[in-house]
Amino acid sequence: MDASFLFSQFMGGLTAAMFLFLIASGLSLVFGVMRVLNFAHGSFYMIGAYLAWQVVNWLQPMPERFWPAVLAASFGVALLGAIIERLLLRHLYDREELYQLLFTYALVLVLGDAAKFLWGTQQLSVSRPPVLGGGIEIFGTLVPHYNLFIMLFGPLVALSVWLMLTRTTMGRMVRAAALDREMLGALGANVGWLYTGMFALASFLAGLSGALVTPIQSIVPGMDVEIIVQAFIVVVIGGLGSFWGTFLGSVIYGQVLSFGILVFPGFSLFSVFALMAVILILRPWGLLGRPMR
């Protein structure tokens, strides 16, 4: 086990982590503000991937068609999220958690089958955008440019969302809504549209990550459930609703998974679930989260 091998494991874990972070940050945002655990977040991610593939196919002769596809997929999914929130989810906020959980689970079933119906069950793939087609050698490991781009893009998105939450009026309102929804409404803010906006933003992040993953992973049915389980573990480790917690959770998850394979081959999945259970037992609100009132 030499240094370059360890480094390549580390880089693999980090790329996975930055992807997960993009997805999990949306999940965490929705929980932090709306107190809804959105199982359908993985489905939005999957829809984003399929939409990106679709647009790439439509724009066939264009060389850099990947970028407009990413943009279209993210906005498409944001729109889908906004519609679902406006028409359905909105009416469940004052019901018990059980109903909200089951509603988002129902969405997983419906969206999963809808994707199968529209795009079939065969594997689809998107090629890397030519601009980032190359790679760079670091410590004897070839790291594709695209992976480097993802590793920088993840924290960039984190930073922009964090700045939005801490520095803008909109962000202050979002934080106020998380603390006391009724009070914010009484002060004259339009909480209904604020929630729709947050849900759309979270869906946007899901769609964006789904679109960005297509050059690295092939698109298959079932990727929704696979990713939601991982995103779920990440937010539980870091703290539901905590933005930096989600970042930390993603990094830990990526590294545990990529080094867990070396320590217990075959049981790396077990090790992340076990980590999640231990954290829930000791600190149910996660490493950087705050206890929920």
Partner 1 sequence: MSERAESAVGMPSRAGWQVPWTLIVFLMALSLPWIGSRYDTFLGTQIAIYSLFALSLNLLLGTTGLVSFGHAAYFGIGSYACGILMKIVAVPFWLAFPAAGLIAALFAAGFGFFCVRLTKIYFAMLTLAFSQIVWAVCFKWNDLTGGDQGLPDVPFPDLGWMAALPGFDRMRIAEQFYVLALVLVALSVAALRRLTGSPFGRVLTTIRENPERAAFIGVNVRLYELAAFTIAGGFAGLSGALFGIFNRGVFADFVFWSKSADVMIMTILGGMHHFWGPAVGALVLTLLNQQITAHTEFWPFVLGTILIVLLFVFPGGILGALDVALSRMSKRRDA
71 binds partner 1 (CB under 8 A): no
DSSP 114-143: HHHHHH-SS-B--PPPGGG--EEEETTEEE
Q: Please tell me the distance from the alpha carbon of residue 248 to that of residue 157, in angstroms, as a whole number.
A: 15
Which amino acid type is present at position 71? L
> Closest approach of Cβ 36 to partner 1, in Å?
10
290 binds partner 1 (CB under 8 A): no
DSSP 274-286: HHHHHHHHH-TT-
108 binds partner 1 (CB under 8 A): yes
287 binds partner 1 (CB under 8 A): no
Q: 233-262 mask for partner 1 (x: CB under 8 A)?
A: ---x--------------------------
113 binds partner 1 (CB under 8 A): yes
Contacting range for partner 1; rule: CB under 8 A; set: 74-82, 113-121, 130-138, 247-255 = 113-121
Contacting range for partner 1; rule: CB under 8 A; set: 16-24, 133-141, 201-209, 263-271 = 263-271
Closer residue to partner 1 in complex, CB, 37/71 = 37
98 binds partner 1 (CB under 8 A): yes
Contacting range for partner 1; rule: CB under 8 A; set: 4-12, 123-131, 154-162, 276-284 = 276-284
- What tokens were used for 39? 């199982």
What is the CB neighbour count within 10 angstroms for residue 124?
A: 17
225 binds partner 1 (CB under 8 A): yes
Do the beta carbons of residue 230 and residue 236 sit within 8 Å? Answer: no
| Strand-pair partners of 194 | none
Q: Please tell me the distance from the alpha carbon of residue 124 to that of residue 121, in angstroms, as a whole number.
A: 9
> Closest approach of Cβ 260 to partner 1, in Å?
12
Q: Which of 13, 42, 81, 112 binds partner 1 (CB under 8 A)?
A: 112
Closer residue to partner 1 in complex, CB, 8/271 = 271
118 binds partner 1 (CB under 8 A): no
Contacting range for partner 1; rule: CB under 8 A; set: 72-80, 111-119, 159-167, 242-250 = 111-119
Give residue for tokens 């480790």.
237
Q: Which of 6, 8, 37, 176 binds partner 1 (CB under 8 A)?
A: 37
Q: Total residues contacting partner 1 (rule CB under 8 A)? A: 40
Torsion (CA) 261, 233, 287, 150 in degrees, nearest 10:
70
222 φψ region: left (φ > 0), alpha (ψ -120 to 50), beta (else)? left
Do the beta carbons of residue 22 and residue 235 sit within 8 Å? Answer: no
Closer residue to partner 1 in complex, CB, 59/269 = 269
276 binds partner 1 (CB under 8 A): yes
Q: How many CA atoms lie within 13 A of 178 on its CB side?
A: 20
Residue/partner pairs of 266-273 with CB below 8 Å, 24 or more apart:
272/233, 273/233
Q: Which residues contact 271 (CB under 8 A, 6 or more apart)?
A: 256, 257, 260, 263, 264
269 binds partner 1 (CB under 8 A): yes
User: By the criterion CB under 8 A, which residues form the site for partner 1?
Assistant: 35, 37, 88, 91-92, 95, 97-99, 101-103, 105-110, 112-114, 116-117, 225, 229, 232, 236, 266-267, 269-270, 273-274, 276-277, 280-281, 284-285, 292
